[in-house]
A and B are shown apart, each in its own frame.
Chain A
């Protein structure tokens, strides 16, 4: 799948978060970072996506949604968990409705650290995830 590396289409999902990482993900699209340089597209549609990019944590409400989105993505696919909340639940970890990081719902391939993660780090995470969908 050498072409897969040249055209990573991304589905972005935001779980329980403060929306900080969310905004940084959008920053990747702007002229300064321009993730489309790598052929990446923010599809907003699991059926078209290669990479599921999740910001924020998993809670009782959204776990089924995340699982279904992952389920609907065709193979090969990769999951990138962006930010601390997506990794472990972050500062929301002890809330009454919280389950934890993305790993609690679906298998994660790349964890991007940061609170919020920087756009460079997110792009780096996406590029790393490309190795997983060979």
Chain B
């Protein structure tokens, strides 16, 4: 019986997470278009894109790229599974990092100038947000008493009450992680072009589709971290937190449309300063 429930939960996550991620990406494109007074694509556009890519011919410049892309997607899915099953948050972070490392390696393996530059920038971006993700996990651990994601539903008050600064820091690095302008240095989304397409320049067909799907999972995980800040024992908070996640995502869309791209040095320095101040102040307050 327990095995059955576990299987059902895993199946549910495997269906719901990409559906939510894809819809959010579609929503992002529509809202962006409306902000620019355009009509924009249908909201299901990301799914059309992925279906098209999956059926297109695959070409490659290196035999290894496919393995890395597949591994990256697998570990992204694994991350969301761990998170959805309420397991250890640090494990999620590590699995997520592993997925990012594989993604970066796929860029390296092509040995192409454009993806190479994108890959280096992607690494810098990982360096920008990684400390914050760790600090989020530390803060959550101090507030809830355990790293288990599931324990968030048993807390007396939402984590954001005691982690307000860490939450601000997380919102900041969310644009770095989701590669939204001003931090879309390594690769850019839909219509935008930066160093051609950055890391994914050489990917075609099914590989590119896998990257898109991984990005859906990434988005879900990133918003899952936001979710953790608002959820607590009260069932009303479970739905309210979802709405707040959506609000956070739309805020990212707004930022994406309102800012110009920055240089990597500024991105790195700015993120580290923000993380140092928000994370440091909040952790100090917790330990007073």
B213 to nearest A CB, angstroms? 15
* A6, B203: Cβ atoms closer than 8 Å: no
- Which of A1, A36, A42 has the most chain B CB atoms closer than 10 A to its own CB? A36
* A6 nearest CB neighbor, chain B only: B48
* A74, B205: Cβ atoms closer than 8 Å: yes
Q: Which of A37, A41, A48, A75 contacts B191 (CB 8 A)?
A: A41
CA distance A81 to B36 in the complex (A): 29
Task: Tell me whether B55 is interfacial, beta carbon within 8 Å.
Answer: yes
Number of B residues near A (Cβ < 8 Å) is 30
Task: Tell me whether A64 is interfacial, beta carbon within 8 Å.
Answer: no
* A75 nearest CB neighbor, chain B only: B57
B57 to nearest A CB, angstroms? 4
A23 to nearest B CB, angstroms? 17
Task: Tell me whether B208 is interfacial, beta carbon within 8 Å.
Answer: yes
B280 to nearest A CB, angstroms? 41
Q: Which of B36, B51, B204 contacts A31 (CB 8 A)?
A: B36
* A3, B52: Cβ atoms closer than 8 Å: yes
Q: Which of B41, B45, B204 contacts A47 (CB 8 A)?
A: B204
* B208, A31: Cβ atoms closer than 8 Å: no
Inter-chain contacts of A37 with B (CB < 8 A):
38-41
* A74, B59: Cβ atoms closer than 8 Å: yes
Inter-chain contacts of A62 with B (CB < 8 A):
none
Q: Which of B37, B52, B201 contacts A4 (CB 8 A)?
A: B52
* B191, A7: Cβ atoms closer than 8 Å: no
- Interface residue ranges, A against B (CB under 8 Å): 1, 3-4, 6-7, 29-31, 34, 36-39, 41-45, 47-48, 50, 72, 74-76
Q: List 9 A-B contacts (CB under 8 A).
A: A29-B191, A31-B38, A37-B40, A38-B41, A43-B197, A44-B197, A50-B52, A74-B56, A76-B56
